[in-house]
Amino acid sequence: MIGGVGHSACFQCGACVGDCPGARYSERFNPRQIMLMAILGLADRLVTRDSLVWDCTNCCNCVEHCPQDVQPMEVIIAIKNMIRDRGLFPEKSETIVGAVLETGRTVVMSDLIHKRRRELDLPALAKPPVEELAAILETDNG
Amino acid sequence: MSGNGVRKYIPFFGCLISTKHSHFEAAVRRTAPKLGMELVDVAGFTCCPDPIYYKAADTLDWLTVAARNLSVAEDVGHDVLTCCSGCTLTLSEANHTLTHDDGLREKVNQRLKKVGREFKGTIRVRHIATVLRDDVGMEAVSASVSRPLEGLRVAIHYGCHLLKPERIMRVEDPARPVILQNLLRAIGAEPVFNTRHMFCCGKACQDEDLSGRIMHDNLTEFSDLDVDALGLICPTCFDEYDLGQIQLSRKSDRKFRIPVFYYFQLLGLAQGFSPDDVGLKRHKVSAKPVLEKLGLVAPVKPG
């Protein structure tokens, strides 16, 4: 696991909650509670297909406000990594990851994209070296 | 202008700007030479990769792909110029993490070795807005302008990842930023303070209903302030506000019609480029009211 390893320093002050768009707009999302579950060794309960961790907006405010440098957003991302490891990753997200591996981009190319670049006198887009991506990403994922 | 030499940067436009928002790339490429910036294009980049979906899938893979992109730039040796907040976050964080964590760097370099690459940590990753502030200077930005956008009231949306996480970005205090206000003033526009300028756009949340409600409240604030435009520096935020505004207006009682601009489009107009040069016709929310106010198109006569 990379990142999200400092949660045991969390003393549950709640500084991560006040400025959290997720907490403000989602009834079920509360970064302090997620940290509590991580401290208690219960983060596994958040490793589900419709996990509330997907309500995180990735804004980094919790990272900024935490007096203990726990980096709650990184704990949440570590849980998302676990969700993918269990094969429970959301389909839309998996499609984007697949597109990067296959084409080197998140956006699917089209004739219109090339045409619009020509209209703006922009240089033609080269094909990204996807074979290099395949080579550097093989093995470890087993 | 501070210094006589032209400064060289390796532009990293990323997936969104080079494809869906190529008019932003055009705006950057057109305005940069007037700021003494030379863009040195480098072949061999892939997706940064994106700091939301890709990092959520596998943080080590995410770091590996980012490190590969950085190593491509390191071979040339100039700083990387990012134009998208997502690319900025990914490449800055990877550069920071892999420079500070010897174990992770070794792990990632073991993987890069298979294609004859190595991450060294020899260059910096810099969002283009910070390059304008730190290398070009606000005075030189002003000096590049031939048609100041006088009287244009612009609400700023900072987005999250130009400034945060602060320990990596080191731009300024993310609670009280001034960089974008100053960049707007430098081209003659008036930044309009709003309580939502630091709020997340919501786009990076996988729950679309939640991001829709965030957008509704953000746009309500901007509309109530009676601003001419919304100015920002991130293509993801742009999507959320431009196309998102149309989609939201269909579902909501309130109809939102605030023209949205990528900062370098405004800079381009101020430098004398035409609306077509910076691709304004590609926007979903018409930029026409702004162009009328600036005297760049004739106002439509009523009736």
Domain parsing of chain A, residue ranges: 7-85, 91-137
The secondary element (H helix, E strand) that includes residue B13 is none
- What radius of gyration do chain B's Cα atoms show? 19
User: B110-124, B146-160, B176-190, B200-214: which range is least confident on average?
Assistant: B200-214
pLDDT value for B2: 42
Reported ipTM: 0.96
**What number is the average pLDDT over the span B269-298?**
96
Contact between B125 and B80 under an 8 Å Cβ cutoff? The reply is: yes
C-alpha B294/C-alpha B262 separation (Å) is 17
- Partner residue opposite B61 with nearest CB, options A26, A125, A137: A137
Ramachandran angles phi, psi of B232, nearest 5°: -150, 175
pLDDT value for A3: 78
Nearest CA in chain A to B85: A59
pLDDT value for A102: 97
Q: Per the CB < 8 Å rule, is A57 touching B204? A: yes
**What are the 10-residue block averages of pLDDT along chain A, 142 residues in total?**
84 97 96 96 95 96 96 96 97 95 96 97 96 88 44
- Partner residue opposite B22 with nearest CB, options A22, A25, A117: A117
State the nearest Cα–Cα gap between B187 and chain A, in angstroms.
23
Res. B1 pLDDT band, cuts 50 70 90: very low
Contact between B154 and B289 under an 8 Å Cβ cutoff? The reply is: no
CATH class of B7-128: mainly alpha
pLDDT value for B166: 96
C-alpha B186/C-alpha B264 separation (Å) is 12
Q: Per the CB < 8 Å rule, is A136 touching B115? A: yes
- Partner residue opposite A106 with nearest CB, options B50, B58, B115: B50
- Residues of B within 8 A of A90 (CB-CB) are 206
Using one digit for the tens of pLDDT, what is the confidence trace for B51-71? 999 999 999 999 999 999 999
- Tokens, residue B222: 């901007």
Choosing among 3.30.360.10, 3.30.56.10, 3.40.50.620, 3.40.50.11810, the CATH entry for B147-293 is 3.40.50.11810
**What number is the average pLDDT over the span B142-169?**
96
State the nearest Cα–Cα gap between A118 and chain B, in angstroms.
10
Q: Per the CB < 8 Å rule, is B59 touching A121? A: no
pLDDT value for B125: 98
Residue B199: pLDDT above 80? Answer: yes
Q: Per the CB < 8 Å rule, is B166 touching A64? A: yes
How many CB atoms neighbour CB B288 within 10 A?
Answer: 17
How many CB atoms neighbour CB B50 within 10 A?
Answer: 28
Q: Per the CB < 8 Å rule, is B19 touching A113? A: yes
Where exactly are the structural domains of chain B?
A: 7-128, 147-293
The secondary element (H helix, E strand) that includes residue B253 is none
Q: Kindly tell me the sign of the dihedral angle through the C-alpha atoms of B203, B284, B276, B180.
A: negative
Q: CA angle, A42 as apex, A39 and A47 as ends, to 5°?
A: 120
Using one digit for the tens of pLDDT, what is the confidence trace for B88-101? 999 999 999 999 99
Instruction: Give Cβ neighbours of residue B203 (< 8 Å, ≥ 6 apart).
Output: B211, B236, B237, B239, B240, B244
CATH class of A7-85: mainly alpha
